[in-house]
């Protein structure tokens, strides 16, 4: 008995009696379509038996049918995946990959933009603080070196020396201008304290005007420093 798929017109050779007089559901192994195959009456089955016998005696006459995919019952194991299913899955996979790439690009653009702004904000922090002094608090909270007045005291050290037979305390360091404009530095206050943190003496140094992105070295001698003066403190003198 020959069955023809109503969807893709693929033909199948069904064994004699496999459909039965009441019919049964069958599926196409190529396109997976399912349809109900009508049963044949006993006389038709008898004729079909004769056809099958003839085909068996002349197999070359059934060569085309034998090359077709085998007949399968709808209740049997799932059919092998057809070419159209593979193409559909491939197209879906490519579409999914393109969607993931697009989503990645959509997320990458703002992230790269934010990173760029962060780099600018860090690199230009001193100029930003110069125009927006309140930003100094935020930078300090992030642990970034920034000064509200654009100036910084660095590298201060001290040593006791004998000069012309007299003891002096020599203090050296520098005041750095972190901004892109020349700035006049306030006085630098230097204090000597004892081990308990009590101030023993204070003196002041005037660095003067510092060019943009430059520094001015400081060297000052304090004569006859207190013997118990062991702690050196320094800062910009507060404006009165």
- pLDDT tens digits, 107-124: 888 888 888 888 887 777
Name, of 26-30, 35-39, 48-52, the range with top average pLDDT: 26-30
Q: Which of 14-28, 46-60, 122-136 has the lowest mean pLDDT?
A: 46-60
Mean pLDDT of the 36-44 span:
64
- The three state secondary structure string of the chain is CEEECCCCCCEEECCCCCCCCCCEEEECCCCCCEEEECCCCHHHHHHHHHHHHHHHHCHHHHHHHHHCCCCEECCCCCCCCCHHHHHHHHHHHHHHHHHHHHHHHHHHHHHHHHHHHHHHHHHCHHHHHHHCCCHHHHHHHCCCCCCCCCEEEEEEEEEEEEECCEEEEEEEEEEEECCCCCEECCCEEEEEECCCCCEEEEEEECCCEECCCCEEEEEEEEECCCCCCCEEEEEECCCC
Average pLDDT value for the chain: 77
Cα–Cα distance list, 110 to 79, 105, 116, 156 (Å): 48, 9, 10, 44
Closest CA to 125 of 102, 112, 103, 141: 141
232 close to 155: Cβ distance less than 8 angstroms: no
Mean pLDDT of the 33-37 span:
82
153 close to 234: Cβ distance less than 8 angstroms: yes
Q: Is the pLDDT of residue 231 over 60?
A: yes
Give me the pLDDT at residue 157, please.
93
Give me the pLDDT at residue 136, please.
67
Give me the pLDDT at residue 189, please.
93
35 close to 8: Cβ distance less than 8 angstroms: no
213 close to 180: Cβ distance less than 8 angstroms: yes
Please state, in angstroms and rounded to a whole number, the distance separating the CA atoms of residues 121 and 136. 12
- pLDDT tens digits, 43-86: 444 444 444 333 333 343 333 333 344 444 444 444 455 667 77
Give me the pLDDT at residue 117, please.
85
Give me the pLDDT at residue 175, please.
94
Give me the pLDDT at residue 34, please.
85
How far out from the chain centre does Cα 205 lie?
Answer: 51
Please list the residues that pair with 36 across neighbouring strands: 25
150 close to 132: Cβ distance less than 8 angstroms: no
- pLDDT tens digits, 168-218: 999 999 999 988 889 899 999 999 999 999 999 999 999 999 999 899 999
Give me the pLDDT at residue 79, please.
46
Tell me the domains of the chain and their CATH numbers: 2-80 (no CATH), 151-236 (2.60.40.10)
Burial 50-80 (b: 16+ CB within 10 A, else e): eebeeeeeeeeebeeeeeeeebbeeeeeebe
- pLDDT tens digits, 143-167: 776 665 788 899 999 999 999 999 9
Mean pLDDT of the 9-30 span:
78
Cα–Cα distance list, 14 to 18, 51, 214 (Å): 7, 12, 96
Give me the pLDDT at residue 171, please.
95
Residues in CB range of 84: below 8 A, 6 or more apart = 31
């Amino acid at each position: 008995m020959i069955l023809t798929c109503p969807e893709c017109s693929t033909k199948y050779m069904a064994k004699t009696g496999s459909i039965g007089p009441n019919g049964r559901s069958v599926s196409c192994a190529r396109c997976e379509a399912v349809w109900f195959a009508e049963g044949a009456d006993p006389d038709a089955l008898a004729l079909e038996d004769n056809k099958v016998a003839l085909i068996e005696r002349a197999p070359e006459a059934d060569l085309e049918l034998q090359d077709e995919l085998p007949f399968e019952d709808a209740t049997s194991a799932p059919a092998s995946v057809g070419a159209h299913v593979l193409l559909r899955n491939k197209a879906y996979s490519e579409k999914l990959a393109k969607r993931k790439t697009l989503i990645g690009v959509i997320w990458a653009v703002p992230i790269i933009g934010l990173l760029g702004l962060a780099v600018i904000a860090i690199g230009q922090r001193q100029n930003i603080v110069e125009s927006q002094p309140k930003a100094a608090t935020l930078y300090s909270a992030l642990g970034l070196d920034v000064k509200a007045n654009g100036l910084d005291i660095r590298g201060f050290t001290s040593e006791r020396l004998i000069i012309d037979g007299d003891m002096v305390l020599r203090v050296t360091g520098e005041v750095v201008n972190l901004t892109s404009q020349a700035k006049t530095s306030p006085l630098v206050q230097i204090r000597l304290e004892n081990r308990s943190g009590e101030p023993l003496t204070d003196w002041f140094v005037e660095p003067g005007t510092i060019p943009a992105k430059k520094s001015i070295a400081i060297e000052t001698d304090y004569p006859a420093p207190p013997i118990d003066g062991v702690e050196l403190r320094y800062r910009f003198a507060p404006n009165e």
